[in-house]
Each structure stands twice: as C-alpha cells, then as structure tokens.
C-alpha cells in the first residue's frame, strides 16, 4: 500500500511539475519580444475576413509575438477570439501578447498619419499608402486623371500622378477610395504652387514665364523640378542647375541626367535623357517646394556641365567639356 501511495504521490508531483513548467512556458510565450528601449513599431494591417489563425500567423511572421499558438490560446481563454477588429495598427515589438490582443479588440485609430518625403516616386507612395491599408495596391498608379482635370487644371498635361503628390504629412482614413486619397495631395499642390505662379491673382498653369528662358507649362516645370530634386541637394545649386537645364533645352543639347536612367529602367527608354533630347515626358518623382522654386527661378550662369561630389554632395560646375572631364576624374574616381 505504501508503495502504491508513493507512486501516486510521485505521479502527481511529476504532473504538477509538468503543469508548472507548461504554465511558465506559456507565460514566457506571451511576453514581449523586445525591451522598450529596443522596440520597433511598424504599421500592421489586419485584413477584413481574416480569422484568428491567420492573424496569429501574421503577427508571428512579422516578429511581434513569440508564438502564434500561444496568441490563439490566450485569445480564446480571454474571450477575445471573435472580437479582433480589422484595420491598420501600429504594433510594437515591446508589447506583450495580451497587450496586442487588447489593441486588436479595441480597434484601429480612425485616422492614419503618413509622411510623404521629398523625391518619393509614385510607385513608392502607392506602396506606402497600400501598406497602411488606406488604398489598394495600384490605386494611385492607375488613377483616372480625367475625373479630376476640370477641378485641378494643372493635371491637363499630366499622364499620371507622378510629380503631383506633394511631399508633406497627410492624414487618411483606412479603406479610402482612390479619389479620397488623391484629393488631399492635389489640394496641397494647388495651395503651395498656385501662389508661386499667380499673376495678379490669376493662375495659368499652361503659360508660366521663366525670366530669360521662355514660357513653360506646369508639367515641364514639375518635370525640371523633379530632376533637380533627384540630382542636386542644395537650394542655390538647384537654381544654377535649373539654368543649365533651360539652356541645354534651348540649344538642343542632351540633358544627360543620371536619375532618368534609373527611372527609365522601369518606365521605358523615353525617360532616358542620355538617349533622348529634351525633357522626359513626365516628372520622375515628387519635387519639393524648394526644387519647384528653383525651377521657377533659375540663377543665370555660364556653366554647361555639372556633377555631384559623392563625398560632400556639393555640386561641381564646369564651363567646358574638358574641364568637366577633369572634374569627373577628380571627384568620381
């Protein structure tokens, strides 16, 4: 009898230890992956129709939880399994599983703040907004401009939204229509650029006089500004290079802007200013206010060539091709 009782006690003790170890492991799997000081916060989109298993797998794959199984078990035990709401969340790797579950039960914030940086391209902006769950991938790339040209006349000569998604901080709602997402960009473009070209209160986007350089449309100005944005970092240097671009256009000299070569790889050879004379057919990025101001106010100079020093980002100018070759050997070696 004593032997039988001893076996029962031993079995219970072993089971108790196993249970304690399992409980300890379970609580460990619920703990944060990172300390607060090392945490990374990234936007995470929970799609409509995703179930508990899909959400748990996504969070584990993205590096926010230790275990999808533990996440599911905790959600079930806490009664939250059917209360997780779709939407865009800012999830931190320093959050525990219980904190993330509570976040998903509470639901996403109504507004999503997005920073569009100077020089971003249409495909990059489209991808960014899609990542935040604001639009579907491709909504901006394939946007129908005809529906907006009457309201925003600067789009009359545009082939796409490239160059017109003005860099700034915007607030959007999750699941916006393409038009709802586009309007804040276009309103901002009109508000910022209109006053720069207004003549006695009238804005004519098709006939913009550039002193000593002629009359240009807003599409050409935005295109020149996008080249300056991608090629030249300093405001004064941008005005100098703008003058070089206008003079090269006037004499029919190839612009040979390196940034267009990279853009042409994904958008076609017509954008390559080494292979084609004149400007690319559209802007190649979203120019900043500084770049657009430089395009509108070129600084007269006698230079014909320029390059950027990769070590200092300074622009090095030359009057002759021979001088330019010397500069290339010196700064681009």
CB 154 within 8 A of CB 205: yes
For residue 107, what pLDDT is reported? 83
* Domain end residue (candidates: 171, 197, 223): 197
pLDDT average, residue stretch 303-314: 86
CA 153 to chain centre: 25
Residue 79's domain spans which residues? 34-109
For residue 55, what pLDDT is reported? 93
pLDDT average, residue stretch 67-82: 91
For residue 254, what pLDDT is reported? 92
Does the pLDDT value for residue 10 go beyond 80? no
For residue 209, what pLDDT is reported? 92
pLDDT in tens, 224-260: 999 999 999 889 999 999 999 999 999 999 999 999 9
Say whether both 232 and 326 belong to one domain.
yes
Say whether both 282 and 325 belong to one domain.
yes
Say whether both 213 and 326 belong to one domain.
yes
Say whether both 139 and 191 belong to one domain.
yes
Alpha-helix residue ranges (DSSP H) falling in 204-298: 218-231, 235-251, 258-267, 289-296
Instruction: Report the domain count for the chain.
Output: 3
Say whether both 72 and 135 belong to one domain.
no
Say whether both 289 and 275 belong to one domain.
yes
Instruction: With respect to residue 176, please indicate whether it lies within any of the assigned structural domains.
Output: yes
Does the pLDDT value for residue 88 go beyond 90? no
| Number of residues that make up the chain | 333
Report the CATH number at residue 47.
3.30.1490.480
Instruction: With respect to residue 27, please indicate whether it lies within any of the assigned structural domains.
Output: no
For the entire predicted model, the pTM comes to: 0.71
d(CA 330, CA 34): 47
Instruction: With respect to residue 215, please indicate whether it lies within any of the assigned structural domains.
Output: yes
């Amino acid at each position: 009898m004593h032997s039988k009782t001893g076996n029962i006690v031993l079995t219970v003790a072993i089971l108790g230890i196993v249970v304690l170890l399992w409980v300890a492991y379970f609580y460990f799997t619920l703990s944060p992956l990172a300390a607060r000081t090392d945490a990374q916060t990234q936007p995470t989109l929970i799609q409509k129709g995703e179930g508990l298993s899909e959400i748990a797998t996504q969070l584990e794959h993205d590096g926010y939880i230790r275990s999808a199984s533990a996440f599911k078990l905790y959600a079930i035990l806490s009664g939250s399994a059917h209360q997780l709401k779709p939407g865009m969340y800012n999830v931190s790797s320093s959050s525990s599983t219980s904190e993330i579950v509570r976040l998903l039960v509470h639901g996403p914030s109504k507004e999503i703040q997005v920073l569009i940086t100077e020089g971003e391209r249409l495909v990059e902006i489209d991808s960014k907004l899609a990542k935040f769950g604001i639009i579907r991938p491709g909504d901006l790339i394939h946007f129908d401009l005809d529906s907006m040209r009457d309201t925003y006349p600067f789009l009359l000569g545009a082939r796409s939204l490239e160059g017109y998604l003005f860099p700034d901080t915007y607030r959007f709602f999750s699941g916006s229509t393409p038009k709802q997402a586009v309007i804040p960009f276009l309103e901002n473009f009109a508000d910022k650029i209109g006053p720069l070209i207004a003549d006695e209160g009238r804005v004519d986007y098709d006939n913009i006089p550039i002193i000593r350089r002629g009359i240009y449309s807003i599409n050409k100005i935005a295109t020149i500004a996008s080249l300056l944005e991608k090629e030249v970092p300093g405001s004064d240097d941008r005005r100098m290079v703008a003058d070089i671009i206008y003079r090269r256009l006037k004499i029919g000299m190839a612009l040979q802007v390196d940034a267009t070569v990279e853009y042409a790889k994904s958008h076609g050879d017509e954008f390559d200013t080494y292979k084609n004379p004149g400007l690319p057919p559209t802007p190649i990025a979203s120019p900043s206010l500084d770049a657009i101001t430089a395009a509108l106010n070129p600084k007269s100079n006698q230079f014909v060539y320029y390059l950027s020093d990769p070590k200092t980002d300074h622009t090095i100018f030359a009057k002759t091709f021979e001088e330019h070759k010397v500069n290339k050997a010196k700064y681009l070696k």
